[in-house]
C-alpha cells in the first residue's frame, strides 16, 4: 500500500466583498448580531455578471493547486469534485473541470456530502492512491451559495452565514510515508431535513412548486434548524477529531494545526476549548469568507499554508460536520 500526501493547494474566491452592513440594506439584521453569533465580518458573493460558477471557480483553484504541486494539468489522473451547489442539476461539475482544464479523458467523480464533502472527497482520493490505481488526484470543494439564498428577513438565519468560493488540493503518492494517516467518515440520515434544500428535486419537482404557487413555500431555499445543528456539530466535531487522534496514537496536544470546517466561529472556539488547544493550534478564517461549505476546509488550508502555518512533519487535523448529517476527519503528517 502507498501513502498519499497533499502535494499542492490553491484557492479562489470571488472579488465581490459583502459586509454585514451591506446585508442590513435588505434584511433586518445587524453587524453586531452576525459577529456575536457567528464571528463573520464579511463574505464573498459572486457578481452574477462575472463568469464565476462552481465549475470555473473550482478550476481556478485547481490550476493553482496543480502549479503549487509542480505538476501540469495532464499529470492529473482523476478528479473528485465536492459541492452542494453544482452549476447544473446534472451532470455534476467534475466533468466540466475535465473540460476546462483541457486534459485527457480522465474520470471525474462528484461528491454530495455538503460541509463534509471535501473530507469525503479526500478520503476517496486517498483510497485510489493507496491502492496504486492513481498517482495524482485533484480534490476540489467549490460553492456558489449566494444566488440561491433568500435575501429577506425571513431568510436571515441562513443567508448571513453563507459565502462563495473554491479550494483544491492535489493528492499525490508520497515518497517518504508522510501524508494522510487516516480518514473517518460518518452519517446520520435521520436528521437529513434539519439542514437541507428540499425542492426542486425528485420529491418535489419544479412543476409541482410552480402549480402550487404558494408564497409561503420556502422549500426551494436552504433550511437550517440552527440550534439543533449547532448542538450536534459541537459533539460530532469533538468525537471525530478524537477518533482520528486515537486511531493514530495521538492526543489533542500533539496537533500542530486543526483546520475545522468554518461553520461558525463559536463552534470552532467551543471545540478548541474542549480539546485544550491554543489559538496557534486552530485556524479560522470564517471572519472573511463566512461558511463556504465544501470549499471551507481547502480555502482555510490553502491560506494557512500560504501564511507559513504548516511545516514539514506537522500533524494537521481536518474536521467537518454538516448537512446529512455527515461528519468526517482526516489526520495528516505533513
Residues 244-273 that bind ligand UT7 (CB under 6 A): 263-264, 267
Considering only the C-alpha atoms of the chain, give the largest distance between any 2 of them, rounded to a whole number of Å: 60
> Binding residue for ligand UT7 (CB under 6 A) from 49, 227, 280, 313?
227
Residues 51-110 that bind ligand UT7 (CB under 6 A): none
Residue with cell 505533513: 334
**Cα distance between residue 287 and residue 308, in whole Å:** 19
On the 0-12 / 13-18 / 19+ scale of CB atoms within 10 A, 278 is exposed
Nearer to ligand UT7, 45 or 128 (CB): 45
> Binding residue for ligand UT7 (CB under 6 A) from 71, 106, 168, 229?
229
Nearer to ligand UT7, 8 or 163 (CB): 163
> Binding residue for ligand UT7 (CB under 6 A) from 16, 18, 35, 37?
37
Contacting residues for 53 by C-beta, under 8 A, at least 6 apart? 46, 87, 93, 144
Annotation says 11 is catalytic: no
Q: How many residues belong to the site for ligand UT7 (CB under 6 A)?
A: 20
Grouping H, G, I as helix, E, B as strand and the rest as coil, residue 258 is: strand
Radius of gyration of the chain (CA): 19
- Indicate whether 322 belongs to the interface with ligand UT7 (CB under 6 A): yes
**Cα distance between residue 195 and residue 146, in whole Å:** 17
Cell of 39: 464571528
- Indicate whether 233 belongs to the interface with ligand UT7 (CB under 6 A): yes
Find the shortest distance in angstroms from Cβ 289 to ligand UT7: 12
Q: What are phi and psi of 41, to 5 degrees?
A: -105, -40
Annotation says 291 is catalytic: yes
- Indicate whether 40 belongs to the interface with ligand UT7 (CB under 6 A): no
Task: For the chain, give the number of residues.
Answer: 334
Nearest C-alpha neighbor of 293 from the set 151, 146, 194: 146
Identify the bridge partners of residue 259 per DSSP, sorted by sequence position. Answer: 318
Peptide bond into 218 cis (omega under 30): no
Q: Identify the active-site residue in 11, 68, 113, 115.
A: 115
Stretch 152-191: interaction string toward ligand UT7, x if CB under 6 A: ----xx--xx------------------------------
> Binding residue for ligand UT7 (CB under 6 A) from 149, 226, 248, 309?
226
Find the shortest distance in angstroms from Cβ 295 to ligand UT7: 11
Find the shortest distance in angstroms from Cβ 264 to ligand UT7: 4
Nearer to ligand UT7, 252 or 322 (CB): 322
- Indicate whether 286 belongs to the interface with ligand UT7 (CB under 6 A): no
On the 0-12 / 13-18 / 19+ scale of CB atoms within 10 A, 177 is exposed
Question: Contact at 8 Å (CB) between 54 and 83?
Answer: yes
**Cα distance between residue 59 and residue 62, in whole Å:** 5
DSSP state of 325: T
Annotation says 256 is catalytic: no
Stretch 106-145: interaction string toward ligand UT7, x if CB under 6 A: ---------x------------------------------
Find the shortest distance in angstroms from Cβ 286 to ligand UT7: 10
Element holding 246 (H helix, E strand): helix 226-247
> Binding residue for ligand UT7 (CB under 6 A) from 4, 38, 284, 326?
38
Tell me the catalytic residues: 115, 261, 291
Residues that bind ligand UT7 (CB under 6 A): 29, 33-34, 37-38, 115, 156-157, 160-161, 226-227, 229-230, 233, 263-264, 267, 291, 322
Amino acid at each position: 500500500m502507498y501513502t498519499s500526501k497533499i502535494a499542492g493547494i490553491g484557492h479562489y474566491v470571488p472579488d465581490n466583498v459583502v459586509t454585514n452592513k451591506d446585508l442590513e440594506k435588505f434584511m433586518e439584521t445587524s453587524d453586531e448580531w452576525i459577529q456575536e453569533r457567528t464571528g463573520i465580518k464579511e463574505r464573498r458573493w459572486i457578481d452574477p455578471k462575472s463568469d464565476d460558477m462552481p465549475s470555473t471557480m473550482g478550476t481556478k483553484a485547481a490550476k493553482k493547486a496543480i502549479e503549487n504541486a509542480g505538476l501540469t494539468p495532464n499529470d492529473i489522473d482523476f478528479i473528485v469534485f465536492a459541492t452542494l451547489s453544482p452549476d447544473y442539476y446534472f451532470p455534476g461539475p467534475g466533468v466540466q473541470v475535465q473540460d476546462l482544464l483541457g486534459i485527457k479523458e480522465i474520470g471525474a467523480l462528484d461528491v454530495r456530502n455538503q460541509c463534509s464533502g471535501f473530507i469525503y472527497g479526500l478520503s476517496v482520493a486517498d483510497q485510489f492512491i493507496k491502492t496504486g490505481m492513481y498517482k495524482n488526484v485533484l480534490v476540489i470543494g467549490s460553492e456558489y451559495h449566494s444566488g440561491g439564498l433568500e435575501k429577506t428577513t425571513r431568510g436571515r438565519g441562513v443567508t448571513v452565514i453563507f459565502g462563495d468560493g473554491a479550494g483544491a488540493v492535489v493528492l499525490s503518492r508520497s515518497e517518504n510515508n508522510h501524508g494522510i494517516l487516516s480518514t473517518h467518515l460518518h452519517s446520520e440520515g435521520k436528521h437529513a431535513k434539519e439542514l437541507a434544500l428540499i425542492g426542486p428535486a425528485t420529491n418535489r419537482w419544479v412543476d409541482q412548486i410552480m402549480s402550487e404557487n404558494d408564497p409561503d413555500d420556502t422549500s426551494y431555499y436552504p433550511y437550517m434548524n440552527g440550534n439543533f445543528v449547532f448542538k450536534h456539530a459541537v459533539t460530532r466535531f469533538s468525537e471525530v477529531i478524537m477518533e482520528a487522534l486515537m486511531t493514530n496514537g495521538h492526543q489533542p496536544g500533539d496537533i500542530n494545526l486543526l483546520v475545522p470546517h468554518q461553520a461558525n466561529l463559536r463552534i470552532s472556539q467551543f471545540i478548541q476549548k474542549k480539546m485544550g488547544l491554543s489559538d496557534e493550534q486552530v485556524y479560522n478564517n470564517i471572519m472573511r469568507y463566512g461558511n463556504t461549505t465544501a470549499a471551507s476546509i481547502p480555502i482555510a488550508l490553502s491560506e494557512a499554508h500560504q501564511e507559513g502555518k504548516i511545516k514539514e512533519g506537522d500533524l494537521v487535523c481536518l474536521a467537518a460536520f454538516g448537512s446529512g448529517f455527515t461528519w468526517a476527519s482526516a489526520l495528516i503528517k505533513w
